[in-house]
Chains A and B, each alone.
Chain A
C-alpha cells in the first residue's frame, strides 16, 4: 500500500505550479474575467506547446503524452489554486474524455491530435435550461441516419461553448427517453445554424455560453443511441477532475486565512490566537486534508478505470464541493470587512467554489447518486 505521489509526479506538480504562479496571478485573473473569451491565447498556446498539458492524458497514438488521471488531477489542483482562466476543463475534462469514451478509433484519430496539441479548443454541450445532470435532462432530439444528422434545440451552461472550435453535443434519438437513445455528435464551433451567446456568469473566472441549434448538420461520435454509458463515465471522470481542481482552491484559501490570522491584530493579539478563529482554521484543515484524500483516491480509481470509479467520483464530488465552499466562506469571515471587498481575492474563490459545486451536480445530487450506487 502506498498513497503518495511519485517523484516524477511531484516534479510535474512543481513545473505546473511555477507556470501557474507566473501566468495566472490575481491580476491576470482579474483582467481575463472582464473579457468575453475569458482566457489568454498566448498562455493557452504555451500550455499546449511547451507543456503539452491538453494532451497530458490522451494516449500517444492520438498525439497525447499518455499519462493518466493521477497526473491530470495534479494539473487540475494546481490550476484550481490559481483560478486559471482557460478552456482547459472544457477541452480536456469534458470534450476529450467524451471523445475517448464515445468515439471509434477513427474518430479519436481524427479529433484528438488537435486537442492534444492545443490547437483545438473543445466543449461538451450537455446540459439544457432544465439544469439537470441526468439522462432525463437531455431533451434535444437528433434526427437522421448513417453519417447525416441534424440538431435543433438549445444547450445551456456550456462551459467555454463560445470559445470552442469543436463542440461535442449530447442529444437523443427520436422517440426515446431516459438512458435510451443518448447520442454523441460533433459540430464545428462556426457551424451554420449555430448561434452562440456568452452568458453573464456569477463566477466570472469560468465562462459559459448558450448554444442554439437550428438545423445544424452534425457528425455522429460513436453509435447514435448507445451513448449513455460513455456519457456517465465522462461525467464521473469530469467530477474527479473538478474535485481535484476544488482541492487546490481550498488549500489556497486555507493558507490565506492562516496567514491573515497570524498577522491581523485585534484586542492586542493576533486573531489566530483566539479559539474562535483557531478552531475555524483547524476545521478547514480537517476538511481540506480529507478532500485531498478523496480527490487523490478518486483520481487513482479513474486512472485504473476500475469498478470503484462511479462510487468514488460521486463521493469525491460531494465532499470536495462542500469542503471548498465552506473553506471559501470561512475565509471571508476570518478576513472580516476586507474579505467582503471587490479588491480582495476572497470573493473570486467564493464564487468559483459555488459554481464548481453546482456544475456536474451539487453535493446533495451526488449523495443521492452515491446512495443509489451503493445500493441504498
Chain B
C-alpha cells in the first residue's frame, strides 16, 4: 500500500498540470466545471475548448498511438482525470463519442472504420449520440424493436429511440437495431452507425423535470446508412452494445469524486453561512456525505489497483455506479435540507424562466443518475448474479 505517485506518475501529473495551466485560460477558465454531457451551458466555448484539447491529443488520450492517441495506461488516465477535475476544467461535450463509442470502435471496429471515425472524434468535428433505449426497451434493453433491413448497399432503419442525449447536436448515432427478422431478445441485433443529418431522422426534444431538454426522442423512418457501417458482425451486435455499457461504467467514475467533493464543500459552506451547520441532524448528514465521498475515493483506488493488475474492470465496477449515483441523490436531498426555505425559490426572479441554481441542479439531475447507464435495480442484479454468483431469475 502506497498512495503516493511513483516518480513516473509524478512526472506525468506535472505534464498534465502544466498543459492545463497554460491552456485553461480566458473564457475557457471562466466556464468552470459547469455542464455535463447532458447540459449545454456555454456550448460553443466548450466545443472550442475541447478542440484545443484534441489538437494536443488529450481527447482520445487513452487510444493507441497508431490511431492518434497517447496510449495512456490506466493510472495515467486517472491522473489526467484528477488533474482535469482539480483544475475545474469544463465538463466534456464529446463524452458519447470519446468515452463510449471510441473504445467500442477500437475493440470491435475494422482498421478502416477506426481511421474513418477516430480522427473526427479527436478533432471534435463529429459528435456522437447513443441509440439504445426505446419506449419498450429500458431496463430490458434487449427488447429492441427498431428494425434495419439491407437494401442493396444500404441499411434502411425504422423505429423509435428515446432518452437520446444530445441527439440534436450529434452528427452520428450508434444504433442497436434488429437485423434478423423474427428474432427475439439479444439475438439478431446489430450495432449500426447512422448519420443524423438526413430526411429519415426526426428529433423531438424531451423536456425533463429540470425544465431543460437535453434528452430527445429520435424517430428513424427509413433512415439510411452504408452497409459496411456495422460494428462487429451482423446479428451479433449485443456483445458490442454490452461492451459500450462496460465503458460507460468504466474508468471515468474513478476520479468523479473530485467534482463531488467540490459540491459537498459548497453545501457545507452554505450550511455554515446560514447557521444550519450547528443543527445536530444536518451535522450528521454532512459528515455522512463526507464519509461517502471519501469511500468513493478509496473504492476507486482499490478498483484502479485491481485494473492495473488484471487489465479489465470486472463486474465489481457496478458497485461504483450504484454507490456514486445513490450518494449523489442523497447529497441533492441534503442540499435542499441545508437551503431550507431558500429551496422554495429557483434562480432568476422575475424572468419567467425556470432556471435552476447549482443546488437545485444536483437535487433534480441526480434523480436521473440512478436510472441511466443501468438503473440501480439492474446494477444490483449484475452484482448479485455476476459477482456473488446468485442464480438468475427465470426469464
- A residues with a Cβ closer than 8 A to B are 1-6, 70, 258, 261-262, 269-270, 272-275, 277-279, 281-283, 285-286, 289-290, 292-294, 296-297, 300, 312, 315, 318-319, 364, 367-368, 370-371, 374, 376
Contacts and interface: CB of A to CB of B under 8 A. Distances in A.
Interface stretch (B2-10, B110-118, B125-133, B356-364): B2-10
A251 B261 CA distance: 28
Given A368-B280, A370-B287, 8 more contacts: A1-B9, A2-B1, A262-B390, A282-B387, A289-B316, A290-B299, A318-B287, A376-B277
B378 to A, nearest CB: 10
Nearest to B309: A4
A330 B282 CA distance: 28
A270 B394 CA distance: 11
B284 interface: yes
B381 A293 contact: no
Contacts of B302: 3-4, 289, 292-293, 296
A73 B286 CA distance: 28
Contact of B388 (A285, A293, A319, A368): A285
Contacts of B183: none
Given A4-B305, A262-B390, A364-B284, A296 B380 contact: no
Contact of A4 (B1, B277, B291, B298): B1
The binding surface of chain B is classed by DSSP as helix
The binding surface of chain A is classed by DSSP as helix
Interface string B68-94: 000000010000000000000000000
B290 A370 contact: yes
A319 B1 contact: no
A316 to B, nearest CB: 9
B36 to A, nearest CB: 24
B390 A1 contact: no
Contacts of B272: 376
B322 interface: yes
B335 interface: no
A153 B149 CA distance: 88
A376 B283 contact: yes
Contact of A294 (B298, B304, B377, B390): B298
Contact of B319 (A277, A289, A367, A371): A289
B295 interface: yes
Nearest to A368: B283
Contact of A70 (B1, B3, B316, B388): B1
Contacts of B392: 273
Contacts of B151: none
